Amino acid sequence: MTPGQIRDYLKYYRDLGIETIYRGTPPSTQPLPTLPVPPVMAKKPIQEAILPELTRLPELIPQGDTLAKIREDIGDCKRCRLCEARNKIVFGDGNESSPLVFVGEGPGADEDAQGIPFVGRAGQLLTQMIENTAAKEGIQLKRADVYICNVVKCRPPENRTPQPDEMEICGQFLFRQLMTIKPKAICVLGATAMKALLNTKEGITKSRGQWQKWRDIPVMVTYHPSYLLRQYNAQAKREAWEDLKTLLHFVYD
């Protein structure tokens, strides 16, 4: 690879949010180290699996990317261990040209069974929050008018928090979804989505309610609806409604 190609390559990954690239000598002189990979991926030697990819530079935004193409690229994904226990890949739901996208953490049991994000208890709360806040604020908006997706597309076992490698692998598809939709604003629900998009170590309590940016797109951070369900926390509920009000006025006024 020429220095220019290497520069483009690194820029491509940086734009995808991948900051750590491991250096190594060319594969002809020293084989790539065998990385710890989940059993499903281990069937294929890692060198063989990634080398063809390393020889060509993927385009930053694949030309003419569409949600359908992204879903097709995900395929019957076996890129990480989350494939082992999943029933359905949960890609996204709603208006594909919405000016507003909500990003959650990952599917739960109901979502895994139906293949649709935010359909369980937390999802019902999210739907109510969107529709009731909009109605109170005089904004005509139904859940179907926005787009909803998650950082990881497969249910983590026991609903555990997705691990960094799972978020990095699946995050590339989330980034492509967001780049394709190009919404006017993104609403990040909870700490995992905040970490995936904003790469911050700040806590959710500090970051919520403030405008941030992912690329050039304004991002509003708020509590995850399952946090609001978990304990009766009137203060957090009030704050989440406030965040949503600010967000909806910004997008729809």
Interface contacts to ligand URA, rule CB under 6 A: 104-108, 111, 117-118, 120, 122-123, 150, 226
Pair of tokens at residue 14: 């940086």
CB closer to ligand URA out of 94 and 104: 104
What distance in Å separates the CA atoms of residue 164 and residue 136, rounded to the nearest whole number?
Answer: 38
CB closer to ligand URA out of 111 and 166: 111
CB closer to ligand URA out of 79 and 155: 155
CB closer to ligand URA out of 45 and 126: 126
Residue 107 beta carbon to ligand URA: minimum distance, rounded to whole angstroms: 5
**7-23 burial code (b ≥16 CB/10 A, e <16):** eebeeeeeebbeeeeee
Strand partners, 213: 218
Neighbouring residues of 119: CB distance < 8 A, sequence distance ≥ 6: 110, 111
Residue 6 beta carbon to ligand URA: minimum distance, rounded to whole angstroms: 37
Q: Which residue number places its CB atom closest to ligand URA?
A: 104
Residue 152 beta carbon to ligand URA: minimum distance, rounded to whole angstroms: 9
Residue 194 beta carbon to ligand URA: minimum distance, rounded to whole angstroms: 12
What distance in Å separates the CA atoms of residue 211 and residue 239, rounded to the nearest whole number?
Answer: 14
